[in-house]
Structure 1
Amino acid sequence: MPIALPDFDQRIYLPQRIIAIVEALAEEQIGPDQALEGSGLEPRDLEKVALRISYRQVIAVFRNALRWSRNPSIALNAGQRMHITAYGMYGYALQSSRSRRDAIEFSRKYSPVIGGVTHTSYSEDGGTACHPTVVVISQDTLSDLYRFALEFGLAAHLTILRDLHQAFRLSRVDIVCPPPAHAAAYARVFQCPVMFDQPINQLRYDAALLDEPIALADRVTHAMAHEACARLLGDIDEADDCAAAVRQNLLRSPGQFPSLEAMSDSLSLSPRRLRRKLDAEQTSYRDIVAEVRKILAIKYLRETRLTHEEIASRLGYSDGANFRRAFIRWTGKNPSQFQGRTETA
């Protein structure tokens, strides 16, 4: 079931998926600094009403959960935190639909506005409703990231279905991955037979449930939420993501950090236009340069034997002391704490 992959760097999605992981890790006494490491986010950012995040940041937080959590079923648990109210106007549109069938028709068109880590379609097989599911952020079915995203996405989808109808029950779940060590947790969460090593991922349930009315259906509220989601979808379709273009230019030539004027010229924009476009994406050229410096600094610390002074020079700092101060400002940690560490997920 091929799908068009989104731009992973567009910061246009609500942060609830990241918040769900941060909260789940907190239950294991794993702090938000560890949960957000490498995402470009600080704990205080999660309190900002206007915060919007990218797929790339979600992936970073998912990898942190894989690295730090001692709970093998954390993705399933975190996905269950994704109640319908976590989706903003999209959630209101689902909740105010006349029936689950109407809600599915709505989601077919407008699901891109929520930035889900899985993409779910719909079909019927006799009297069974089927939701084939594709993982958006990984295509390697044997990777830990794929399994984590799939568990989170399926648990989140089930939570929405249960929010729409409290007595909702699945009849079967199909999973393409082999059974993990924590396979028993799937039965606890989905409360139905779970089949592994299947051709596709999907949720299955009685199609008769599709036409049951939704308790909070409201025509006016649905129309208002529908209009809001249509605007959001238009924003996504039209976004050219100037921040991603700037970020890619900087990463393409590591160690070179041109002025805003030089960057705007390379993007065929006036400096004023570049500033306005970045403002609209809730960032600035200075913030992006700092983000890229942080990305490169962590990469050099983990993957090379460069000294702090050598890294400072590559990042355009006058000396190692200035680099160390900047690094502590970005991460809250000394560069030495990152030296030699490698990814495990």
Structure 2
Amino acid sequence: MTTTGNSGGGAGAGASLMGAVILPVAAALRLRGEDPISLLADVGIDAAKVANPEWRIAEADWRRLLQHCVEVTGEEDFGLLAARQLQPQVLRSLGLAWLASDTVYDGLRRMIRFNQLLTTASRLHLEEDDTTVRVFSEATTELGAAVPAEVDYGLAVIVRMCRLTLGEYLAPVTVQMTRPAPLEPHPWEYQFAAPVSFDQPVNCLCWSRGDIEEPLVTGDPELARVNDEQSQAYLDGFLSPSTSREVVGKIIERLPDGPPSQRQIADALHVSNRTLQRKLKEEGTSFMDLLQDTRLQLAQKYLRSPGRSVVETAYLLGFSEPSTFSRAFKRWTGQAPADYREDVASR
């Protein structure tokens, strides 16, 4: 038997997840007629932060959110519902690389390799023999065992990605879960399409090697390589935080209230204005460059969303008037916001 795994990463209160993981949760809440922004606020999470691709959600907040969703909807299997809403792009470069993998087995190995990109709160490792491949997930934080909905969501997301690449008929051989047995286990057995055991000492998905080593018609080694490089770059940056990254995060938090000043950001980072300026210079940038680049990237992201108007985009980016935003956007890109949106829609 051979074993493959990752190092697990951050523990305790510092453990975090990629912020985009809340998007499937928000979609599931909308399906149940709930307002996701309100529910996120209930547990102290600002929904606007998800616009920042660098933002990560604290593990403790993630657990509170999932527990709150179960309580509000009254659905014990809410974690499974949320996992069904996942689309590969939520996982960014990792999701795209998975879709371009030669086999589901290769996709699973990518998930293990870049697991810290998704979460530092748990560790994935793989054990395999001639006929089976087992994927284990274990909590690595001082917060203790994962809450039931977190276990459901985590394992169901892995199965969801496997099925998105090979088809809905793909199913694990067995599923083991540390969560307590639910009152009605049918939703779990239905979603995994496999025997599910609860109250187990480990979380484990057991796959038939033959099933997951079937070649995928979508396999594209070059595309997978490019996205692997992006995942590694993100991971390297996350494990070695930069001042620029912190500044961008603070800018995004404050933009809806108007463009923040360098001094405001310095105060938020608990450094002097001069120190912040020096650190950014050492990284080859400046506060004004970061402010403009952040507004431009967010503007392009918002304008690609059909449900968000130019007026709303202007106010989210801290512009007092839509006309001021339109002039700035044309100065940055050479196009008016409406023209940019039409070009994107026609591609």
TM-score range, shorter chain: 0.5 to 0.7
Partner of 1:17: 21
Is 2:100 the partner of 1:111?
Answer: no
Of 6, 10, 35, 1:5 maps to 10
Task: Indicate the residue corresponding to 2:313 in structure 1.
Answer: none
The residue that corresponds to 2:212 in the other structure is: 210
Q: Verify the 8 A CA contact 1:261 1:271 in the aligned structure 2.
A: no
Q: Name the SS for the 1:173 alignment partner.
A: strand
Deviates more, 1:192-201 or 1:150-159: 192-201
Equivalent residues in 2 for 1:1-345, closer than 5 Å: 3-5=8-10, 13=18, 15-37=19-41, 38-42=43-47, 46=50, 48=51, 50=53, 52-56=55-59, 57-115=61-119, 118-135=122-139, 140-141=144-145, 146-166=147-167, 167-239=169-241, 260=267, 263-264=270-271, 270-273=275-278
| Distance (whole Å) between structure 2 residues aligned to residue 71 and residue 129 of structure 1 | 31
Give the Cα–Cα distance (whole angstroms) in 2 for the partners of residues 74 and 261 of structure 1: 36
Question: Contact 1:170–1:192 at 8 Å: present in 2 too?
Answer: yes
Deviation track 1:161-211 (CA, whole Å, cap 9, x = no partner) reads: 111211312111011233121322211111111112222110112111232
**Structure 1: 5+ residue stretches without partners:** 248-258, 284-345
Identity of aligned residues (%): 14
Structure 1 residue 79: Cα displacement: 1.3
Change in 2 beyond 3 A, CA 1:156/1:125: same
SS at match of 1:189: helix
> In the alignment, which residue of structure 1 is the partner of 2:308?
none
TM-score by length of 2: 0.64
- Cα deviations across residues 10-57 of structure 1 (Å, max 9, x unaligned)? 8883x4321211221222222123321233414x555x3747332344
CA shift in 2, pair 1:75/1:269, >3 Å: farther
Indicate the larger mover: 52-61 or 24-33. 52-61
- SS of the residue 1:62 aligns to: helix
Determine the C-alpha separation between the residues in 2 that align with 1:150 and 1:126.
28
Counterpart code for 2:217? A
User: Which residue identity is paired with 2:224?
Assistant: H
Letter in 1 for 2:37: D
| TM-score (ref. length: structure 1) | 0.64
1:55 alignment partner AA? A
C-alpha distance in 2 between matches for 1:228 and 1:273: 28
1:274 shift after superposition = 6.9
Deviations 1:320-342 (A, max 9, x none): xxxxxxxxxxxxxxxxxxxxxxx
Q: CA deviation at 1:74?
A: 0.7
Q: Deviations over 1:77-126 (max 9, x none)?
A: 10122232321111111111222233233333222222376542211144
Question: Please, what is the CA RMSD of the aligned residues?
Answer: 3.8
User: Number of residue pairs matched?
Assistant: 264
Structure 2 unaligned regions, length at least 5: 251-265, 292-347
> What letter corresponds to residue 108 of structure 2 in structure 1?
I
Following the alignment from structure 2 to structure 1, what is the Cα–Cα distance between the partners of residues 269 and 20? Answer: 36
The aligned counterpart of 1:252 is none
SS state at 1:33 partner: helix
Partners of 2:163 and 2:170 within 8 A in 1: yes
Whether contact under 8 Å (2:124, 2:135) holds in the other structure is yes
Q: Secondary structure at the match of 1:264?
A: coil
